[in-house]
C-alpha cells in the first residue's frame, strides 16, 4: 500500500521555483530519503506533505486519500502524520512524559499514561520521565521528539534533518537507534537530509533532488554505484575523474586500458577512492600524501604525467615519496560521455 504519494507537485516563492514537478511514492513500512544540497527544495517538499505550506500545483495523497490539491487541503492535524524537526521543538515547561503525551489529550488518562510509558521504554528514557528538556543531552532530546511524534501512532513520519544538531559520534549512535525503532514499528518515513552518508545508512530508497527536481531515485546501492550523471557521482563524495577514449569495448586512460561497456568515443571516467588499490610492485605513481582518517587511510598520488589520484585503503600505505602503481576494479568504473 502506498502511504504517501506526491504527483506533479510544484511550488514557487515569488519568482523562485522551489519544487518543480515532483512526483514520489512511499510504500507502507518504507523509509524514503529525500536527499540533496541546501536550497534544492527538499524541505519545501516535506512541508507541503505535512500541510505547512499551501499546495500550488499537483496532488498529495496519504493512505490513498487526497489531502491536498490547489484550493483544498486537510490541516496537518487531520493527516495522521508525525513530525520531527532539526530543533526538536520540545516544550521547555513540560516534563519528558508530558512532552510525549502532548498529542494524546483525547485519550482516557489511563490509556494516555500507558502509551507514554510504552514510548519512553522504547526510546530508553523511562528513568527520565519527570525531568525537563534542558536537563537532557542532545541525543535524549532527539529521542523525546521521536517518542512524541510516534505516540499517536501516525500513519506516516516526516523527519527534517533530525540528527543535524548532534555531534558526529552521538549522531551515529542515535541514527542507528532511531532506524531500529522505526523498522521495529514498521513506520513509513519521509526523511529529509543533505548528508549522503545519512541517507545511505537510513533509507530503503533514496530520491536525490537538484534545483527542485528529482534527478535520480533508487536503492542506496543503485544511486551510489550507478549514478545517472556527473552531479550524482560527485554528490556522494570525492571522486577521481580521468579522460579516456572508448574503442571496441575498451577504454584507454592514463592508468591503462580496461573493458568498457560504452559507445565508442571520448569519455569521462569516474572512480571512487575505494575502487583502487596500491600495488607496491609497480612504479607508475608517487605517493604525495598519507592521512589516517578513522578506519581507513586517505592517500594522494600522482602519475608520471601529473594526473592526481585520491585513494582510500584500510591497509597502512607506504611512506610519502614511495614509487608504486595503482590497480583498478574496472567493474566499479563509471563512464560518462566526455560532454557530461
Query: Each residue of 98-112: pLDDT tens digit?
Result: 999 998 988 899 999
The mean pLDDT of 27-54, rounded to a whole number, is: 96
pLDDT at 267 over 80: yes
Report the first-to-last Cα separation within the chain, whole angstroms: 38
The mean pLDDT of 33-51, rounded to a whole number, is: 96
- The CATH number of 238-337 is 2.40.50.140
Within this chain, domains 2-234 and 238-337 share the same CATH topology: no
Q: What radius of gyration do the chain's Cα atoms show?
A: 24
Query: Each residue of 293-331: pLDDT tens digit?
Result: 988 999 999 998 888 999 999 999 999 999 999 999 988
In whole angstroms, what is the distance from residue 149 CA to residue 142 CA?
11
Query: Each residue of 112-160: pLDDT tens digit?
Result: 999 999 999 988 899 999 999 999 998 899 899 999 999 998 989 999 9
Supply the pLDDT for residue 283. Answer: 92
pTM for the complete prediction? 0.90
Q: CB-based contacts of 141: which residues, under 8 Å, 6+ apart? A: 88, 90, 133
Quote the cell numbers at residue 19. Answer: 519544487
- The CATH number of 2-234 is 3.40.50.300
The mean pLDDT of 256-276, rounded to a whole number, is: 91
Domain boundaries, the chain: 2-234, 238-337
Amino acid at each position: 500500500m502506498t502511504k504517501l504519494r506526491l504527483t506533479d507537485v510544484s511550488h514557487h516563492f515569488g519568482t523562485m521555483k522551489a519544487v518543480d514537478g515532483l512526483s514520489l511514492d512511499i510504500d507502507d513500512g518504507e523509509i524514503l530519503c529525500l536527499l540533496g544540497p541546501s536550497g534544492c527544495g527538499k524541505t519545501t517538499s516535506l512541508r507541503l506533505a505535512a500541510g505547512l505550506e499551501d499546495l500550488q500545483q499537483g496532488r498529495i495523497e496519504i493512505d490513498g486519500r487526497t489531502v491536498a490539491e490547489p484550493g483544498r487541503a486537510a490541516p496537518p492535524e487531520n493527516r495522521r502524520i508525525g513530525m520531527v524537526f532539526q530543533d526538536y521543538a520540545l516544550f521547555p515547561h513540560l516534563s519528558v512524559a508530558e512532552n510525549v503525551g502532548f498529542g494524546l489529550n483525547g485519550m482516557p488518562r489511563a490509556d494516555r499514561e500507558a502509551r507514554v510509558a510504552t514510548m519512553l521504554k522504547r526510546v530508553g528514557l523511562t528513568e527520565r520521565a519527570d525531568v525537563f528538556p534542558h536537563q537532557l543531552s542532545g541525543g535524549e532530546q532527539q529521542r523525546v521528539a521521536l517518542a512524541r511524534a510516534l505516540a499517536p501512532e501516525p500513519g506516516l513520519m516526516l523527519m527534517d534533518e533530525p540528527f543535524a544538531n548532534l555531534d558526529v559520534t552521538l549522531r551515529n549512535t542515535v541514527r542507528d537507534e532511531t532506524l531500529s525503532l522505526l523498522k521495529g514499528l514498521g513506520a513509513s518515513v519521509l526523511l529529509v537530509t543533505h548528508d549522503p552518508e545519512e541517507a545511505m545508512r537510513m533509507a530503503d530508497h533514496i530520491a536525490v533532488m537538484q534545483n527542485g527536481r528529482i534527478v535520480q531515485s533508487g536503492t542506496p546501492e543503485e544511486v551510489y554505484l550507478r549514478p545517472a550523471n556527473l552531479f550524482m557521482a560527485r554528490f556522494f563524495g570525492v571522486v577521481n575523474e580521468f579522460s579516456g577514449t572508448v574503442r571496441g569495448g575498451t577504454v584507454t586512460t592514463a592508468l591503462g586500458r580496461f573493458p568498457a561497456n560504452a559507445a565508442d568515443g571520448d569519455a569521462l571516467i569516474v572512480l571512487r577512492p575505494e575502487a583502487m588499490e596500491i600495488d607496491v610492485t609497480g612504479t607508475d605513481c608517487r605517493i604525495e600524501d598519507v592521512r589516517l582518517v578513522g578506519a581507513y587511510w586517505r592517500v594522494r598520488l600522482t602519475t608520471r604525467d601529473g594526473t592526481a589520484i585520491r585513494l582510500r585503503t584500510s591497509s597502512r600505505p607506504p611512506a610519502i615519496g614511495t614509487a608504486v602503481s595503482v590497480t583498478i576494479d574496472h567493474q566499479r568504473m563509471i563512464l560518462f560521455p566526455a560532454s557530461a
